[in-house]
Amino acid sequence: MPDSVTNGNSGPDYETWFNQQPDDVKGLIEGHTTGLKSALDKERSERKEFEKQLRIAASEQEKGSEARKLLEGQADRMALLERQAAFFDAAHTAGATNLKLAWLAAVDAGLVDDKGQVDMDKVKAAFPQLFGAKTVAGNAGAGTGDDPPKGGMNAYIRKSAGR
C-alpha cells in the first residue's frame, strides 16, 4: 500500500483511502454504512433509556431494600457498558491493538471519565505498546542484513550452484 494511505501505525488509514476513491464508490460505501450507523445509534439510545428507567424504578423502591440495590446495580452495569463502548470506539479509531487491555490500562490510570470519554493522546503517551507499531515494507532479505537476490530466486539458486 502506498505511504500516502498508511496511518503510521499498522496499516492503511481508512479516511485517506476513502477520500481517494471515486464518487460512485464513496456513495456505495456510505449507502451501505448509513444503516449500520443508524442501528448503532438507536441501540445506544435504547441502552441509555433503559438505564434511565432502571434508575427511576430504583428510586421508587424503599431505601436500602434488596430490590433497590438490584436495580441500581443493573443501572450501574448498563452505564459501565456504555462507557466501555464509547472507549472502544475511540481506542479503535486511535489504532489500539488490544481494546480490552487498553480499557483496563486507561481505567487503572484514571484516564476515562464517567461517560467513557478519554484523551487518547494521554493513553498513547502512557501506554505506547498498546498501539500498533509502524510497519516497514519487508523484502526477501529482511532480517538477514542482506538485500534480496537480484534477478529472482532462480538466478540466486543458479548462482549458488555455480551455473
pLDDT, tens digit, 9 for 90 and up, residues 47-105: 889 889 999 999 998 998 999 999 999 999 998 888 888 899 888 888 888 999 999 99
**Are both 45 and 83 inside the same structural domain?**
yes
**Are both 123 and 137 inside the same structural domain?**
no
In this prediction the pTM is 0.58
**Per residue in 127-160, pLDDT tens?**
999 987 655 566 666 666 666 666 777 888 888 8
**Are both 26 and 67 inside the same structural domain?**
yes
DSSP state letters, 122-160: HHHHH-GGGBPPPP----TTTTTTSPPPTTHHHHHHHHH
- Confidence at residue 1, expressed as pLDDT on a 0 to 100 scale: 47
Quick one: CA dihedral 135, 137, 138, 143, positive or negative? negative
Q: How confident is the model at residue 3 (pLDDT cuts 50, 70, 90)?
A: very low
Query: What is d(CA 145, CA 25) in angstroms, rounded to the nearest whole number?
Result: 42
Count up the domains in the chain and report the number: 2
**Are both 114 and 143 inside the same structural domain?**
no
Task: State the burial class of residue 151 (Cβ atoms within 10 Å of its Cβ: 0-12, 13-18, 19+).
Answer: exposed
**Are both 72 and 105 inside the same structural domain?**
yes
- Confidence at residue 72, expressed as pLDDT on a 0 to 100 scale: 92
**Are both 12 and 89 inside the same structural domain?**
yes
Residue 161, Cβ neighbours under 10 Å: how many?
7
Which distant-in-sequence residues (6+ apart) come within 8 Å of 119 by Cβ? 111
**Are both 39 and 8 inside the same structural domain?**
yes
**Are both 29 and 83 inside the same structural domain?**
yes
- Confidence at residue 152, expressed as pLDDT on a 0 to 100 scale: 77
**Are both 157 and 146 inside the same structural domain?**
yes
**Are both 64 and 27 inside the same structural domain?**
yes
**Are both 112 and 155 inside the same structural domain?**
no
**Are both 55 and 91 inside the same structural domain?**
yes
Domain range for 34 is 3-132
